Each structure stands twice: as structure tokens, then as C-alpha cells.
Amino acid sequence: MEAWFFENQTGNFGIKIRIKKVLHHEYSSFQEITVYDTFEFGKMLVLDRAVMFTERNEFIYHEMLGLVPLFSHKNPETVLIIGGGDGGVVRECLKNPFVKHIDLVEIDKRVVDISKEFFPGISAGLDDKRVQIIRDDGIEFLKRVKDNDKYDVILIDSTDPVGPAEGLFKRDFYSSAERALKCDGIFSAQTESPFFNKDLIGDINKIIEDIYGESSLYCAMIPVYPGGLWSFTIGSKKYRPQNIHKSYKGLDFASLDLKYYSPEIHTSSFILPNFVKEICKP
């Protein structure tokens, strides 16, 4: 007998992944959470029937969401991550030598628990003494950030813009994030597929440009996400995100266990195919 997981990534396109076993299933207060063991990709986390990551390729999303903004910043000592309770982005952020403190604001504590139980290689950083896990709604949390607690970098590691993450794709939220950043702060968010979410990406980039004066889109290739090509949007108050900051000169990137990211990939991820460039044209 063969068992398959199906995800309809659009109404008319989807993927199928052969599963060995359902390791866990529950409805938390916020979403449906399933952990599968698969033949092709190792263990896999699924929230509300959308694949978040698989063990075999989680490194791509986590490295690229975390490291591109962090290595654009001169000395990102304090980092705020909204979402990402699995700990993958935390693990990557801890590779930056300047990071002293990470606040992780996750609305659903069950994601943290389940990641610790089933994905120790992803969640390990959550126990680092520099990391504080805050169980809260990211939107409400941002409104309460005080002047002397502002962040160097804010990262939005959200699910798709439906359900609990919907508000994380709105202008009010982006404005609160800007206010919670120091005067040389950097904001970055995952912003869906350039093939299937053109209007969303265009809208977000317009808002980020309004707020920061400039918006930068970069891409990575993530096999289990719709279309494989994925986008991230950066707003930066001071630093150019297209290059790693000179403060990392001499850093031995080869020692950081990076399977996707490198200083060269950092820069080239901002070089976009023409059809993606078109999305952000005024």
C-alpha cells in the first residue's frame, strides 16, 4: 500500500509526497499541525495542510531568511523573529558573530513543543541562552516595543497569508515593525512565490518602499514550495542589503555549516529574472 500527502498549492497545481508514517497530528488553538515521515525528504512539518519544511531541504529557507538580512547589518546584536517557532531561523541567526539576544515571538506554543520533540536538529538553538521565546501575537507584541528595547533586525517567518498569519502581510504591521527598529535597522519577511503571488509581492514591495524609501526583493529555490522559486522582501534604514557588510571581513564562512548561503549567493540572490523584476516596477 502506498500513502501520499497532497498539497494543492494553487487551485490548479499541487505536489504529492509519499509518506512512511504520520508521526503526530493535532489541532492546536491556532492551526492543524501534522508531522509526517516521508520517503524522499525525511520528516516533514505541515501546518494547516501546507508544507512548512522537510528535514532534507529546510536549510534553504532558514539560511536565506535569516542570514541575508543579518550579514547586511554591521553588528546585529538584537534580533526579533515573528513566527518561526520551529527554531530554524534562530539556528541560522546564531551563526552571526554579533548576535547577543534573539526574541522569538510565536503565537502557537505547540509549534515550539513539536519542533523540540520531532526536529532536534532544527530546534536546538531554541535552548541557547541568548534566545527568549515569547508566546504572543506578533502584531500585539510589536505595538508594545519600547524605545530603548528596539531591534537591529526584525524577521517575519510566517505561514501563508491566510489564517493566523494574515495580519502579518498588512501595512499596519509593517509600520509597527519599522517603529520597533533602531535607526540603522533591517526588516525582512518571506513574501511567497513570484509565480503565483505576483500581486501580493507587488503590494508588499510598494508598502516597504513607502516606509523605508526603498524595497529589495531577493529569491531562493525551495523545492517543496509552490513553483520552487521563493521571495523575501527587505526594508533597510541604512545598510545596502545586496552585499554583506564589511564588518564580516575575515570571517570564515566555511566554518558556519552553510549548505546554501555564501557571500556570493547573498549578492546573487538579489539579481532577479526579468519577469520577477517586472513585479516590483512602479
Among positions 195-234, residues that touch its own copies (CB under 8 A) are 195, 219, 221-223, 227-229
Q: How far is the CB of 261 from its own copies (least distance, A)?
A: 7
Helix, strand, coil % over all residues of the chain, rounded to 5: 35, 30, 35
Q: How far is the CB of 227 from its own copies (least distance, A)?
A: 4
Among positions 254-273, residues that touch its own copies (CB under 8 A) are 258-262, 264-265, 267-268, 271-273
* 11 is a site residue for its own copies (CB under 8 A): yes
26 vs 257, which CB is nearer to its own copies? 257
The stretch near its own copies (CB under 8 A) out of 7-15, 92-100, 146-154, 155-163 is 7-15
Pairing of strands 181-190, 229-236: antiparallel
The stretch near its own copies (CB under 8 A) out of 5-13, 25-33, 82-90, 110-118 is 5-13
Q: How far is the CB of 222 from its own copies (least distance, A)?
A: 7
* 21 is a site residue for its own copies (CB under 8 A): no
* 240 is a site residue for its own copies (CB under 8 A): no
Q: Alpha helix (H) ranges present in the chain?
A: 58-72, 88-93, 109-118, 120-123, 138-143, 171-179, 198-212, 263-268, 274-279
275: phi then psi, degrees, rounded to nearest 5: -70, -25
Our answer to whether residue 37 is catalytic in this structure is no
3-state secondary structure 118-187: HCHHHHHHHHCCCEEEEECCHHHHHHCCCHHHCEEEEEEECCCCCHHHHHHHCHHHHHHHHHCEEEEEEE
Q: Which of these is catalytic: 152, 157, 160, 252?
A: 157
* 163 is a site residue for its own copies (CB under 8 A): no
Binding mask of the shown chain, residues 38 to 77, with x at each position contacting its own copies by CB under 8 A: xxxx---------------x-xx-----------------
142 vs 217, which CB is nearer to its own copies? 217
Q: In what order do the strands lie in the sheet with 181-190?
A: 131-135, 101-106, 78-83, 151-157, 181-190, 229-236, 216-221
